[in-house]
Homo-oligomer: A and B are copies of this chain.
Amino acid sequence: MPHIASLCANSHRLYTMADHKWTGSVKSLKGVILDMCGVLYDSGEGGGVPISGSVEAVKRLKESDLQLRFCTNETQATREKFVAKLQRMGFELSVSEVFSPAPAAVSILKERGLKPHLLVHDDLVPEFDSVDKMNPNCVVIGDAADKFSYKNLNDAFQVLIGMEKPVLFSLGRGPSDERHPTVTADGYVDNLAAAVDIILRHRSQ
């Protein structure tokens, strides 16, 4: 029986669960981890809108005995900015309750003594303030959007092929779909990795 529920469906289901008063089969639950985009809010112009019922659902979960945490694959803003946006939508949450890719990457970088060359969105850069970025020995790529220029991609490429064993961290994956009709970070990660791979194969020949 799981003791933590991870909800990444949509807030209708979340709302129904919150309405349950946590009886019966969910009695043994100790905590809930909520996905955010598409669960709490829908992205869109001006940052998006809360999904009907979701603000109330989060409120009820907070009032319950359950531990509540939020999880997101957001890599275009710091948690501070992201949380402020959700607070403006009416959600009760704080930065320390939110788990996102950049702080996870920062932990790994520090653990392994790695210094990153960043190919990330400008608004994400402050998440890496505490990390030494001089003489980089790895590349961290996120959903850089406009920063995915030919020059920036090649700068990251040069850093990677300058290493004996290139190390590339991707902050996430998320393909294009009808609701996100852009060439996503995925493709750029694959593009960069493939180019580096070709160079490595050339070298080993």
Footprint of B on A, CB under 8 Å?
144-151, 153-154, 157-158, 161, 175-178, 181-184, 186-188, 190-192, 194-195, 198-199, 202-203
Once A178-B203, A190-B191, A191-B188 are accepted as A-B contacts, the answer to whether A150 and B154 lie under 8 Å apart by CB is no
Report the minimum CB–CB distance from A203 to chain B (whole Å): 7
Once A149-B149, A149-B150, A188-B191 are accepted as A-B contacts, the answer to whether A198 and B176 lie under 8 Å apart by CB is yes
Once A177-B198, A177-B202 are accepted as A-B contacts, the answer to whether A146 and B157 lie under 8 Å apart by CB is no
| A149 to B194 Cα, complex, angstroms | 19
| A203 to B154 Cα, complex, angstroms | 33
Chain B contacts of A176 at CB under 8 A? 157, 195, 198-199
A202 and B178: CB pair below 8 A?
yes
Nearest B residue to A148 via CB reads B150
Report the minimum CB–CB distance from A166 to chain B (whole Å): 13
Report the minimum CB–CB distance from A145 to chain B (whole Å): 6
| A147 to B195 Cα, complex, angstroms | 18
